Structure 1
Amino acid sequence: MQRFSRVAGLSRLANLCLESACPLCQRSTAQALCLDCQRQLQHLRLSPSQQTWRSPLPIFAWGSYSGSLKRALTTLKYENQPQLARPLGDWLAQSWLQFAQTSEKMPEKSLLEKSLIVVPIPMHLAKQQQRGFNQAELLAEAFCQRTRLPLNPHVLMRNRSTEAQFGLSIAAREQNLADAFTLNETVVHSLKRSPHAVLLLDDIYTSGATARSAAQTLRQQNIAVYGIVTVAKTTIAKTTIAKTTAAKT
């Protein structure tokens, strides 16, 4: 009994040593997020009917960009907390897998016959070096670990630094992202040799200007784009999607 007590005591001590502060609330936790913050984030998960739209570029979003989810993504990017990408990317993957297995809103069946490859939206090299990581790539790593889809972060490159999208009008966002991406020709040749379709991944979907610009760059080289998955969508996203869809019909 005494030996069991010593072992239990050592186990508790080891757990305490492994714990750190939750980046959102500073409570002690052995995980990337404490259980209370995880519960708050799960409350912001969108219902299945709100997660997808059949726009010119099919979109899947895990949650609403508000409250603790907005805080989590801001903390991930601007407070040097890359470990937050793992749970967020994993939750996105779990929801997307459920959607892919059960939903009738899946994109064209012809694309399902191709091998999906996940491509995170790239940052400009200078900005990525300043931040130390690309949040979309970290989210994609967790997403692919769960879905078992292949990841290639080198397909797209950002060929110029763009102005921050926050506060820009929809038209200004489109202009800001025009011709912002280019392709890695070496990778593109390998993609064209086999029937791949690209699944783009980003942290936030707002007006869709970034996703559309990236998709256009790929499609200009006859690379199929399956759609985009994001951790969060903003409140203006659905209105923007509806306007974009109407303008193209």
Structure 2
Amino acid sequence: MQIEVDYCGECQKHQPRKVIAPCSYHQGLGAWIGAIKYQGQLAALPVLCRALVTRIKVLEQQGLITLPQAIMPVPLHPKRLQQRGFNQAWLIARELSQLLQLPLVDEGLTRRQDTRPQAGLSGAQRRRNLHDAFILADDFAFQRVALVDDVVTTGTTVSEIARLFEARYVHVQVWCLARAEAPGLLDDLDSE
């Protein structure tokens, strides 16, 4: 019998942020995520969201997570939203909200700085780029939220936002369509 645990022995020392994703970005999904984000090609979005919901429900049944009270997308700065025409995280969150019958909350968290895109930046550059880029409204009323983004790479964006929530004792789960593993990580797994 296999017992599921929150963290491996080494990770228990640090308790890293949990990221719930049904898929790997580097194992075939990168092109689909990019098509959603940069080209507005949304055909794969419902399928990927259903895969994420399946993963969430499995983790809930195993007692590893509790469903949040609300779903919240990572916000775009108004300038970037105007340029792109949509927020892919909001589209994903809307789909998840409908599938899980949980409220979609898209107010209260604001991106107050028009930061450079994270793609192509190192971890240190990403942290500097997003430092104090977000603000959380004083009257935020939920105690458990799922923060939704399309892909989590270094975790800088979600960590910066989660820091705001956690300062107010709001539990944050991170949900995304795909997790981008560190370079070389999958090479080691493929050679086993």
Q: TM-score range by the shorter chain?
A: 0.7 to 0.9
| Structure that is richer in helix per residue | 1
Provide closer, same or farther for how the CA distance between residues 213 and 160 of structure 1 changes in structure 2, counting only shifts above 3 A. Answer: same
How much does 1:176 deviate? Answer: 1.0
C-alpha separation in 2, matches of 1:154 and 1:87: 26
Change in 2 beyond 3 A, CA 1:225/1:75: same
Determine whether 1:204 maps to 2:157: no
Q: Shift in Å at residue 115 of structure 1?
A: 5.4
* Cα distance, 1:161–1:206 mapped onto 2, change above 3 Å: same
Contact 1:199 / 1:229 at 8 angstroms: preserved in 2?
yes
In the superposition, relative to structure 1, how do residues 237 and 95 fare at CA in structure 2: closer, same or farther (>3 Å)?
Answer: farther
8 Å CA contact 2:73, 2:93 repeated in 1: yes
Q: Does 1:76 align with 2:36?
A: yes
Partner of 2:34, secondary structure, is helix
Gap regions ≥5 residues in structure 1: 1-48, 107-111, 240-249
Report the number of matched residues. 176
Is 1:135 aligned with 2:88?
yes
- Bigger Rg over Cα: 1
- Among 132, 153, 165, the alignment partner of 1:179 is 132
| Contact 1:93 1:143 survives alignment (8 Å) | yes
Question: Which of 123, 128, 131 in structure 2 is aligned with 1:170?
Answer: 123
Which residue is 1:60 aligned to? 20
Equivalent-residue separation in structure 1 for 2:107 and 2:44 (angstroms):
22
The structure 1 residue matched to 2:74, chosen from 108, 121, 124, is 121
- 1:73-122 per-residue CA deviation (whole Å, 9 max, x = no partner) reads 1111111223433222222112211221125x43xxxxx4x952111111
State the distance in 1 between where 2:124 and 2:115 align: 15
TM-score, normalising length from structure 1? 0.63
Q: Distance in 2 between matches of 1:68 and 1:133?
A: 24
Between the aligned partners of 2:176 and 2:34, the Cα distance in structure 1 is 15
What is the RMSD of the two structures over their aligned residues, measured on CA atoms? 2.6
Of 171, 179, 183, which residue of structure 2 is paired with 1:225? 171
| TM-score w.r.t. length of structure 2 | 0.80
